Structure 1
C-alpha cells in the first residue's frame, strides 16, 4: 500500500497536532488477544518507534492503522481520518512497507515505481523523475530495467521501501523495514526516512534493532502481549530503569585510587561502589539521583582533585528493553532472523 503525492491536512476541522490517535484498540484472533486496549498518539512530523518482542502485537497495530484489518473495539484516526468510517480517504494519506516485499515480480524495478507513481496521480514527468530519484537513493539504478523476479531478497526489499515512499505520504508505516538488509543499505533507508520527516511526514516504525530505534525515533513505545507497557523519549526510558553512571577522568591518572577512597568515605548511598579503572584512566560512580551527582562533583572539588573530564552514561536501549519486557531483543542484526512466538496475524503477514 502506497501513499499520496502530497502531505495533505484533513479538511474536517482543526488538527490536534497528532497524526495518529489510537484509543482502546482491541483485536482478537481466536483465543489470542493481539491487542488489548492500546492507547497511542504520534505527533505530526515525528518518528515513533514501536518496540516489542515477537508476537507483541506490533504488526497487528500497523495493519489496523493501514485499514488492512478491522479492530474488534476501540477507535483510531490517521491524519484526521477514521480507520473504520473513512478508509478510502485515509489510504490516500499513507504509505506502508510490511515485513515482506510486495512488488510485482514481472515488472522491472523502474516500471514498478512508475506504475505506482501514476496510480497515485503523479504526472508522467513527476513519476519518471521520482522513480529515477528513488532508484538512485536505494542503489538500484543499475538494476532498474531488470524484472523484479531477478532481484535478490535485499534488492526486492529496497524496491518495496522505495515504492512506499514514492508518493511522499503524510504518514508512513515501516514494519521492521530493514530486516535482512546490509549495513550500507540500512543507512540509506535511515537517511531517506529522515529526509521525509524533515519534509513534514510522520513515521510509525516497528523494529527490533535498538540502533535503528535510537537513530530514528523521537519517542518510543514498548508493547508486549498486546499492551503498551512503557513510553517516552530514549533518554527518559533509560533513566527510568536507573543504572546511570558518572564517569570521571582526573587530570593525573595516579589520583584514581585516592578519588575512589575519598568517595567511599562519604557514606553516600551507592558511592561506595565507585570503581577506578586505571587502564581507561576513569573512575566509574553509580548515580542514584541528580542530588547525588551534584554531591559527588562537589566533594571531588572540595578535596582538591583536578578533573579533566566528567560525563554520565545511561544504560543501552537493549538493557532498557530487557529490563522492561524481561526478554532480549529477538532479531539478530546480522542475519535478520529471530525466535519467539507470533500471533496468528503476524505469521500470515
Structure 2
C-alpha cells in the first residue's frame, strides 16, 4: 500500500520537487526522438522487417575465449530509477498500431508512455497474455500530447508472458511509445574490437537506466560484451537485436567468455555509422522460461579527428556520454 502511495504521489507531482523536471525531461527526449524518426519516413508497421521468432537454444562454444585484461567489477546501473529500464519502444506512423512486449518475473508494475507532436490525447490499451484488458491504476497527462499509464501489480494480477499494447490518438499522426519498468534484472556492458577485451565500462560512473558504457567506433568491427544482473541459473540471455534509426538491423547469437566480468559476447561483429541512431535489445529467459527483454541506446563514435592549427596538430575525441540520464544524439546533449 505504501509503495502504491509513493508511486501515485510521484505521478501527481507531490512526492518530490524534481518530479516535474523528470516528466519534462522524458517528454523532451521522446519528442526529440519522434521528430527524428518522423524525418526518416519509416515504413508502416506492416511493411517493416522483423527478426525471425526464436526458440530456446544452447550455443556450443568450443573456442573457450578467455579475457586478457579482466577489468574491475562492473558497476551496475540502477534499473529501478526514474520510470525504470526500457522494456519495449517503437514508432507508429498513425498512432493506431498494436505492439507486443514481455512481462517477466523481474517486472511487476510498469509504465506505458505515449508521446505525439500534434496528434492530441495519445493513449494506450494494454491486454494480458490471454487477451484480457489490463486496467491502469493511474493515468497522467503532462500535456495534450503525452499520456502516462501506470499499471500496478501487472504480474501479480495478470501473470507473466506476452502482453499487447494498442495505441490510439484523436488524430492520425505519428507517435512514439515506451514500456518502462523498475527492475533488478538489468544488462551492463559495451563494445570491444577484440573478443578477449574485458574493458567495457569506460564511463566510470553508472547512469540510471543506461546499460551500454563503451560505444563502437565508426567503421571498425566490434562485438558487444555484457553481463546480466540477477542472472542465476536457469536465467540466461540468448540473443541481441540491434536496431538502426528505429528499424531492425541484425540478430546476434551469443558465446560465453571465461575469466571475464562480462561473460556474454555476440558471435557476430558489427560496423556502425556515426550519423545513425542505435539501440540494442537484449533478450533471454527468466527462471520460469518467460522471455525477458531490456533495451539500451548507444552511439557510434567517430574515429579520432586530427585538426591542424598554427600551434600544431591537436587530436580530439568526441564526447561518448551524457550525464544525468541524457542521451547523446549526433554529439549534442539533450
Instruction: Name the TM tier (shorter chain).
Output: under 0.3
Larger Rg belongs to:
1
Q: Give TM-score, length-normalised by structure 1.
A: 0.25
Greater RCO (Cα-Cα under 8 Å, separation 6 or more): 1
